Chain A
Amino acid sequence: MSRGVRADSALRSDDVLSVSDLSTRFFTEEGQINAVESVSFDLRDNEILGIVGESGSGKSVTALSLIDLVESPGRITEGEVWYRNPGLAEEFRAADAVGVDGDHVDLRTVPPRLRRSLRGPSFSTIFQDPMSSFNPSITVGEQIAEAVEVQRRAKANPRSTRSRTQGYGLGQYLLDGIVPGRGYASEESTERAIELLEQVGIPDPAERVDEYPGEFSGGMLQRAMIAQALAGEPDVLIADEPTTALDVTIQAQILNLLREVQEERGMSIVLITHDLGVIAEMCDRVCVMYAGEVVERGTLDAVFDDSVHPYTEGLLGSIPDLEDPRPRLQPIEGNVPGLVDADMGDRCYFADRCPKAMESCLEKPTERVVDADAEHGAKCVLADRPYDPSEALPEDHFGGEAE
């Protein structure tokens, strides 16, 4: 177990979620793709944790892995996902097959059906594209009420997935088509849906509850998706690029809303984005991902102001600054690697683009502690010693690999 930046390796009581050494692979015809490789991080009570990276860095697959939604040909091959839930911990304390540590349970070891039943009441997700996340032929209200209903039934019978979806099979679906008004959601759930819509700032919720997703604007639909995610009153909200598809003024509205619901409900948010600005404005702690790995993590101040990894520095240098006119940008040369296992080699994955690559980078770096107080860690040799130009790799070391 590599808890790296932590002094002790024990789980903290304020960890809602503690992920260690999580790896997800895709087994495709082109070969094995290491989408997520040995990722570790913790999510605390009441915080917003940012995961930032470019496309193909594995940030979205990390999110899917947390809620066990990785689809074939992908598979979680390794790792532990500790989730704090005293009830579950008690239930499984005697079970040998299930990892239990204090109030935490290792979700990778509990039965899949149970894992599934945690989606909603424990973990909720919002995605980038609200348009494709709603069914266009069912009203927004009904879809939110459905989420409420699922949660209500789950509460009545917490350990069964069947009861929650009872009466919502294919037969019911066909019947609904013929006999209108036999909805799955009860009146109570619809009431609750209206309440939720109001909470996320949708005007005239009582009317809009009967509208179809096509009648909502992108920003409104993203609000509705947040309402749906809140239906189960989750401990953890996973927001995967929640504002990427939105205009900047709407993005600001949605970010304000997320912050508001986080504070009101005291939940924890994993915010996944490629936008360093969003991270800087929203997050308490941050993980920087590159080529499937978390290359640097720590508190926001530590990572942004005292960054150690040249990739983090490169990302920050790539962004034009709104306040500061016209410095020449310092981009990272080359392109993001393809993550095919066979091509990856056993070196620092960033070495071929790194301006400070040295001989020792040909060996895969482990995570080093930069500052234990800030929980600042980096997978880079520069955490231990300064850059030494005499050890620099020759420029053509990686040949034509870069471009």
Chain B
Amino acid sequence: MSDASEGAGVSGSDPLLSVEGLRKYYADDLSLIDRVLGAEAESVKAVDGVSFDVAEGETLGLVGESGCGKSTTGETVLRLREATEGRIAFDGEDLLEMTDAELTEFRKRAQIVFQDPFSSLDPRMTAGDIVTEGLRIHGISDRAERRETARDLLDRVGLSADQIDRYPHEFSGGQRQRIGIARALAVDPEFIVLDEPVSALDVSVQAQILNLLDDLQEEFGLTYLFIAHNLSVVRHICDRVAVMYLGEIVETGPVDEIFADPAHPYTEALLSSVPRVTTEDREAEFATLHGDVPSPRNPPAGCRFHTRCPEARAACRESSPPAYDVGERRSATCFRADAGHSYWESEPIEENARSAGEGADD
């Protein structure tokens, strides 16, 4: 434990970002008439009680299928969306209580890189203007200095400084993503949310960007929250991983341990669904899940995963499991982690193991 003399400095064990019980509900947009008639807005529980920490210098992967709330989580922890409930602490400060001035300061310390290299750059701005937008907003340095910074940054992310006056459409997808990374780096942040930064790229370019992100992390001591659906990429770049399903984190822990020995049936299913790039031991069939992800508008009662879970038993319908510790800094929200739980005595839900899809229609 750090002692008091460290003062404001961040101690090794304090997380840089700490999220507790974060919820983000979207209410349906009701029309004026509906409101007059007193209709109740139905809410989509995009993020429903998510807690995690990101330690300084580490990369936490947030992984899950589309609609699980991982991108919403990423944007909410940067206050690009307002949280419905919960606590977000950045470097010990409560993010949701920040004043406008404090928030402006925070924006220099935490940045984001988006997935789509096409819609993430303003088509009417030059590469140089895009990269230095943050400096302009915060009134850092004058025009000439900013231009110099832009050249340095472009160079740093593997572009040529001569490309400073080009427009986004003159760049390829991978190059645009580099510009997006340079824009985030310009304000010298400590923390970057990477929202599927390589999903839209070709594999060869994807590898270039992943290597670049690795290098930058080392050089600038960055902390990453890496949001992805591609497990191989997560495996490659992350230190720890949190697996999300229907707005909740179902399992979290060090990436090596989780990938070697998943504790939650969902993690296991995700891993077994990934096609392996190897010619050895091809199997006749992927072991995967049945059915579709239920709607977050009306998530299943009990454990949210019980409608698709091959291991589901009657107990999973009745109550939702808490997060059980399953190792150091590792937890899983599944009754199977508790050897003494009444789950083991209850009846298996038969149809999950057999028929395709039927369980999904709850």
Which residues of A does B touch, CB under 8 Å? Answer: 54-55, 201-204, 217, 219-220, 247-253, 255-256, 259, 274-278, 280-282, 300-301, 304-305, 314-323, 325-326, 328-333, 335-336, 400, 403
Q: Which residues of B contact A (CB under 8 A)?
A: 65-66, 158-160, 172-175, 202-208, 210-211, 214, 229, 231-233, 235-237, 255-256, 259, 269-279, 282-286, 288-290, 292-293, 355-358, 361
The answer to whether A319 and B292 touch (CB under 8 A), given A329-B210, A331-B208, A335-B174, is no
Do A321 and B273 have beta carbons less than 8 Å apart?
no
Smallest CB separation, A221 vs chain B (Å): 11
Q: How far is the CB of A292 from chain B (nearest CB, A)?
A: 15
Is B286 a contact partner of A281 (Cβ separation < 8 A)? Answer: yes
| Cβ B235 vs Cβ A320 within 8 A | yes
Choose one: A219, A277, A331; the contact of B277 (CB below 8 Å): A277
Could you say which residues of chain A place their CB within 8 Å of the CB of B174? 335
CA distance A276 to B207 in the complex (A): 14
Report yes or no: A280 in contact with B288, Cβ–Cβ below 8 A.
no
What are some 5 contacts across the A-B interface (CB < 8 A)? Answer: A55-B173, A277-B275, A319-B207, A320-B210, A336-B172
> How far, in whole Å, are A246 and B206 apart by their CA atoms in the complex?
19
**Chain B neighbourhood of A250, CB < 8 A:** 65, 292
Indicate if the CB atoms of B205 and A321 lie closer than 8 Å. Answer: no
| Residue pair A322, B159 in contact (C-beta under 8 Å) | no
CA distance A354 to B160 in the complex (A): 20
A33–B73 alpha-carbon span in the complex (Å): 43
What chain A residues lie within 8 Å of B208 (beta carbons)?
331, 333
Asked if B233 and A256 sit within 8 Å, CB to CB, the answer is no
B275 CB contacts on chain A under 8 angstroms? 251-252, 255, 275, 277-278, 280-282
**Given A55-B202, A249-B288, A280-B279; A318-B274 close (CB under 8 Å):** no
A203 and B358 in contact (CB under 8 A), knowing A314-B204, A320-B210, A331-B205?
yes
Assess whether B202 is in contact with A323, with CB atoms less than 8 Å apart.
Answer: no
Contact of A321 among B202, B277, B293 (CB under 8 A): B277
Contact A247-B159, Cβ < 8 Å, known A329-B236, A332-B204: no
What is the bound-complex CA distance between A301 and B214, given in angstroms? Answer: 32
B157: min CB distance to chain A, Å: 11
Cα separation A252 to B282 with both chains bound (whole Å): 14
Please indicate which of the listed interface residues B175, B293, B361 has the most CB atoms of chain A within 10 Å of its own CB. B293
One of B160, B256, B273, B279 near A252 (C-beta < 8 A):
B273
Contact B66 A247 (CB under 8 A): yes
B202 nearest CB across to chain A (Å): 4
- In the bound complex, do residue B229 and residue A248 qualify as a contact, i.e. CB atoms below 8 Å apart? yes
Q: How far is the CB of B248 from chain A (nearest CB, A)?
A: 17
Looking at the assembled complex, report how far the CB atom of A19 sits from the nearest CB atom of chain B, in whole angstroms.
Answer: 24
Tell me whether A329 and B277 are in contact (CB under 8 A). no
Given contacts A249-B65, A280-B276, A314-B204, is CB(A403)–CB(B159) below 8 Å? yes
Bound Cα distance from A55 to B174, whole angstroms: 12
How far, in whole Å, are A250 and B290 apart by their CA atoms in the complex? Answer: 8
A218–B116 CA distance with the chains assembled, in angstroms: 20
Contacts of A322 in B (CB 8 A): 231-232, 235, 259, 271, 274, 276
Determine how close the nearest CB of chain A comes to the CB of B349; give it in whole angstroms. 16
Q: Which of A304, A322, A335 has the most CB of B within 10 A?
A: A322
Q: Which A residues are in CB contact (< 8 Å) with B361?
A: 203-204
Q: A249-B269, A255-B286, A331-B211 are in contact. Are A276 and B235 (CB under 8 A)?
A: no
Chain B residues with CB below 8 A from A256, complex form: 285-286, 288
Q: Which 9 A-B pairs have the closest CB atoms?
A: A277-B275, A331-B207, A320-B236, A252-B288, A318-B207, A252-B286, A252-B273, A247-B65, A54-B202
Known: A252-B289, A321-B235, A331-B211. 12 other contacts (CB 8 A): A54-B204, A201-B356, A201-B357, A203-B357, A314-B204, A315-B204, A320-B232, A321-B232, A321-B277, A326-B236, A328-B211, A335-B175
